[in-house]
Structure 1
């Protein structure tokens, strides 16, 4: 009877240990799933920021292209009726000529830096996330390679006003106000004596390229956002 009793106790202990291990594993899996969901939500939020930024950028570059068209037309015809508006179009034509917005990568950088990228269980989705950030950076690098001297020249030619944006950034998107007539004439003559006409064509080509890259980035951002949101829904 003693050995049967001992065996029964051993069985109870073994079963208890297995149950405890199972509970621990369940808790571990549950915590990992919660972390995965948190990271996915953060990634979606970052991509939402990218989408907003890209949509704004595409609209701003459209405005840039319209301004460059007017500048090129007036330089070609030599007919400038409103010098200050002409100057303003030149300034707007420089928008997004200096640098481009980068992808919002705080969550992705955290995942890579912490070694937690594996918490995203779906291997295919991990590949898509990596491709997105690599592609975004690659697109910006291609844009940077094509930057022209137009923005720098306009910065040298036209005095600008500074304004504080709601985001705390200082902007220089407007011509300095209250320019005296003789200064306006001087600026206009400097423009005619410069290489701005040729650079306007180059900057317009550059703007079209920026739009093409931005549209591609936007499409990829929207597609990845949907995939992540759908996958997150399966974790609920």
Structure 2
């Protein structure tokens, strides 16, 4: 092809027809420019196609992560409801009742030892945020929700940390003062650790525990944490559902 154009130029020069040569030269330049533009368009089309494919994969991974996150959040709130129920039962017990059901109290206190924590980190989202690939996503509303997600989770986890700290540093010590904690843990249907039975166990004094004002105060404090954490988690569930709804809309396009 190049040889063909070169021969035409030589022929026009040989004829000495300057006007024809100039017209030909301009036409050749136009053809080259058109060829370059077509090549660029094809390249841009290929890049757009690859980017669209990558965006689809990112959206699918995000959807999987956030669906799993919703499952985890619902399980956490179910556990918090168990904690609240046990908490309410303990505060209603009559400490002066000489027929206190020790096994029942063991179970109830075992439930209050539960400290639900959020372990999901949404791996796909972290990759997007850390790599800058979040800019591949075209939906601005979705990007806004994803950018705000870490701070929203942090609000909830702060409550979890405070609740865990209160349980370990204040609640557990006062229970340990009156009760055989190893027996509570061993007989609990929800706590995974099962210590061995000691030959001479410490007997639990639940009458004095239920009369202890600090213990009752801590139960109310833990109740407030549980209620607040449930509210924060429900908010995150709604955000997750909004994210999934936008993703589904994007994947259908």
TM, length-normalised to structure 1: 0.79
In structure 2, C-alpha distance between the alignment counterparts of 1:183 and 1:189, rounded to whole Å: 18
Match of 1:123 among 131, 140, 147: 140
TM-superposed CA distance for 1:176, in Å, is 4.7
Counterpart of 1:106 in structure 2 is 123
**1:181-208 alpha-carbon deviations (Å, 9 max, x no partner):** x636246478458643332222122222
Counterpart of 2:101 in structure 1 is 82
**Is residue 71–residue 89 contact of structure 1 (8 Å, CA) maintained in 2?**
yes
Which sections of structure 2, spanning at least 5 residues, go unmatched?
A: 1-19
**1:52-83 alpha-carbon deviations (Å, 9 max, x no partner):** 00111111111111111222222645455431
In structure 2, C-alpha distance between the alignment counterparts of 1:220 and 1:78, rounded to whole Å: 47
Note if 1:224 corresponds to 2:243. yes
Match of 2:80 among 40, 61, 68: 61
Tell me, what secondary structure is at the counterpart of 1:183?
coil
**1:62-117 alpha-carbon deviations (Å, 9 max, x no partner):** 11111112222226454554312311210111212xx6205533122211211212
**Is residue 64–residue 92 contact of structure 1 (8 Å, CA) maintained in 2?**
yes
Which structure dedicates a bigger proportion of its chain to strand?
1
Q: Quick one: structure 1 residues 225 and 11, their matched pair in 2 at CA, closer, same or farther if it must change by over 3 Å?
A: same
Counterpart of 2:149 in structure 1 is 132
In structure 2, C-alpha distance between the alignment counterparts of 1:137 and 1:162, rounded to whole Å: 34
Counterpart of 1:166 in structure 2 is none
Which structure dedicates a bigger proportion of its chain to helix?
2
Match of 2:172 among 133, 140, 154: 154
Computed over aligned residues only, the root mean square deviation of the Cα atoms, in angstroms, reads 3.1
**Is residue 74–residue 80 contact of structure 1 (8 Å, CA) maintained in 2?**
no
Higher relative contact order (CA 8 A, sep 6+): 1
In structure 2, C-alpha distance between the alignment counterparts of 1:143 and 1:27, rounded to whole Å: 48
Note if 1:93 corresponds to 2:144. no
- Rg larger in structure: 2
Q: Quick one: structure 1 residues 4 and 228, their matched pair in 2 at CA, closer, same or farther if it must change by over 3 Å?
A: same
TM, length-normalised to structure 2: 0.74
**Is residue 132–residue 221 contact of structure 1 (8 Å, CA) maintained in 2?**
no
The correspondence of residues 1-236 of structure 1 with structure 2, limited to 5 A, is 1-74=20-93, 76-78=95-97, 81-96=100-115, 100-145=117-162, 149-152=166-169, 153-154=171-172, 157=176, 158-159=181-182, 160-161=185-186, 172-173=191-192, 176=195, 178=197, 183=201, 185-186=203-204, 188=206, 191=209, 195-234=214-253
Q: Quick one: structure 1 residues 51 and 77, their matched pair in 2 at CA, closer, same or farther if it must change by over 3 Å?
A: farther
